Structure formats: structure tokens, C-alpha cells
Amino acid sequence: MRPRSCRNQVVSSTNEKYDQSILAARTMDVERLRMDFPLLATGDEAERPIYLDSACQTLRPKSVMEAMYDYYSSFPACAGRSTHRLATEVAIRCDDVRDKTASFFGAADPAEIAFLKNATEGLNTVIFGCGLTRGDEVLTTDYEHNSVHVPLIHAEQEVGIKRRTVPSLLEGTFDLEAFERMISRRVKLVAICQTSNVTGYTLPVKDVIEIAHEYGAKVLLDAAQAAPSMRLEVGALGVDYAVASAHKMLGPSGVGFFYASKELSAALKPLSYGGHGVTGTTLDSYELLPPPERFEAGLQNYSGIIGAGAAIDYLERVGLEDIADHEVSLNKRMTRKLMDIPSLEILDPHDPNLRRGILAFNVEGVPSHDVAIILDHSRNIMLRSGMLCCHSLFEARRLEGCVRASAYLYNTVAEIDEFTQAVEDIAGRL
């Protein structure tokens, strides 16, 4: 077995890892950034929410809202249909966003980027449009969001594909060696998340892609949880398909980023058919537009696309590396303060360096939803609870759910301290 750039490793959790030198954010002026977010910059400071649910949906800066309002107030028309100057302005703005999206994700050609309504639509487009037939194998993981897991179950039932799952290791990391044992020439598609929305763990996707391609399989990458603070670089990775959602990246809801490599996109069937996706029809035939427009049938969310472009501009100005450093710094602080509470269990992996901005936990004897409700009502702390749209993972681990705190670029050390103290108070009542 040849060496890879990333191998599984067990990392011990000791207090030495979380000393004070790594607890503060490094270069970002968080207090200044918070002024860009109306929810965090207005009203009485004591009444502002502590928002730790960014893995579900981030807050939006004023620049995103202003860009969307600019569409509705200045050029509220349809692109690609009418020829008047307002429609032309919309088309120019959307083309500009497509260009910057391609650059942001490292795509070689803007035509490799389509705007869908969310990442889920992109995942379904590939699973049902890439030509899988009865007997074809699809290899996936036990980390997968329902947006990967459920379409694959449906394809198994309706198409007759064979779905196989790579189980994670006990410490919550990806078992690359098991993946190598399970892949074969029968595998036509590998469908994996880049970062788990439950634990924040990032899989060794470059190794996975290399191995998959050696066996002739294509790779579908769910990058929704990675894209907010990680440079994807689809071209350098060599991934075949990738998806992300603007609402996890400071952008509006209702906009998904869909990447399909130029070599494969022309053979990929759209999920929806209709206006704008075709170049012409007769009473008994139609001809699709070339990618990416063939995947964008129907009226587009123009204000959302323009707002998504403003979100990408904002992320580029702040810097993804600085955002990632800030996330990990806050996660280390959370971990250090919570790891020794006897009645609290942090979901693996325990090392915060492997979890980016996410800390998922359970308090013994207190249902996850109860913990979340108590934190919301008593301390104005907002986070996620339950099975996080990843039911299969929790069922496999025999867990009824978890509480997930997810920090992002606008969270502060003071907020983390308030959160951890509140959790300690809940656990201390047991």
C-alpha cells in the first residue's frame, strides 16, 4: 500500500494542547467585522443573541443585503430573456458572479459553474443524471448528510444501484484503508462530504479522489460545510462534481453553487427541464442549451445570485485562512473548558484541530433539544440540536442526537466563555 498525503491517526486530548497561547483569534478584527452584521451591531449589547448555529446558516453582512436590494430597486428584470437594458444589466451582474464563483472555487472555466437553489439540488442532479444503471456501485461514507444519503437510497430502490458505505474509525476519522479495500472497478461514483456537518471533521478528499480515479470512478463532493472557511480548488483536487450552498457562506438562502467538470457536464442530465434551459423546441422535440445554462431551467433567483457574489467578495476580503484559524481558536477554547466535565461527552474526534468551528456534545441525562432550549431561553444562546439531517450516523452510533455549537468569523472569545459557562451550569445541576 503506497503512502498518501493524509493518513488516519489517533490524537490524544490533553490540556497541554489547549494552553492560553492558542486561545485568542490571530489576525481578524472580530469586533470591527461584527459591525457589518445588523443582528450583532444593533440594539442593547446585553440583549444581542450569541449565535452559534452558523453550520446551519450563517448571518449575512449588510453588503449582501444591499446587493440584493440593489437588484430589486434598480434593475428588477429577467436575464436571458428580454433584450432591454434592465435585463442586460441582470445578465451582466450574474455573469460577473459566475466568474468570481469559478475563481473562488478554483474552476478552470466559469461554464463549469451553475446556480441552483441549494447544494441538495446539485447532489440530486448528479446522482440521478450521471447515468447510473442497475448493478452500478456507489461508494459513500457514514458521515453523509441526508441530501446524499436519501437520494442514494432512492436510486438503490428505483434504479437498482448498489450502495456501499465506508464506516468511520472509532475516533471519528475517515478509514482510508477501508476505502481502498472496498473500492473496485464496479464502483462508478464516490459520493462524499468534504467536511462533516455533525463533527466538523474534514476527510482526506484529495487521497479519496486519487484512489477513486485509479479505479475509473467519478467523485461527487459535498462541500457545503467546508466552503465557508476552506479553499476548495476543484481543479487542483481533480474532483468531478462539487456542490456548496450560499446560505452557509454569508450569502442568501435559495442559492446553490454547482460545479461539474467540462469533460462531464455535457453528458449530465438536468434535474429540471423548461424555460431558459433549452435553445429550441418543436411539438415533439427539444434541444438543451450547453452547460451551465441547461442546469438553470426556469426563472432564476437573481437577487440571491447577486447577493451570493457580494458574500464571496466579503469572504475574499476577510480571508479564508484567517477565518479557519479563528474557528479553530474558538473551538480550542470551547474544548478546553468543557472536556473535563464528567457528565458531558464531546462527539469524536476529540481534537479540536480536526473539527474546525464545530463542537458537538451531549449532556448525560438531558435530551439535546432540552439543552438547546434552555440555552436559548435562559442565556440567549442559539445553536442546533437533534440529528442534524444526518440520521443514519446517529442511528449507527445509537445516539438520539446531539447539541452542536458552530462558531464563525463574527463570534468572540467572550461569547464562547458565556456559552461554556452556561453549559457547565446545566451539567452541574445533575
Positions marked catalytic: 389
- Distance, in Å, from the CA atom of 130 to the CA atom of 113, rounded to the nearest integer, reads 16
- Distance, in Å, from the CA atom of 349 to the CA atom of 351, rounded to the nearest integer, reads 6
- Structure letter (DSSP) for residue 115: E
Tell me the backbone φ, ψ of residue 175, rounded to 5 degrees. Answer: -95, 90
C-alpha R_g of the chain: 22
- Distance, in Å, from the CA atom of 233 to the CA atom of 235, rounded to the nearest integer, reads 5
- Distance, in Å, from the CA atom of 372 to the CA atom of 56, rounded to the nearest integer, reads 14
Closest CA to 296 of 274, 280, 281: 274
Residues 18, 332 contacting (CB under 8 angstroms): yes
Closest CA to 241 of 174, 192, 186, 306: 192
- Distance, in Å, from the CA atom of 216 to the CA atom of 137, rounded to the nearest integer, reads 12
What is the grid cell recorded at 375? 440555552
296-332 b/e (C-beta count within 10 Å ≥ 16 → b): bbeebbbbbbbbbbbbbbbbeebebeebbbbbbbbbb
- How many residues make up the chain in this entry? 430
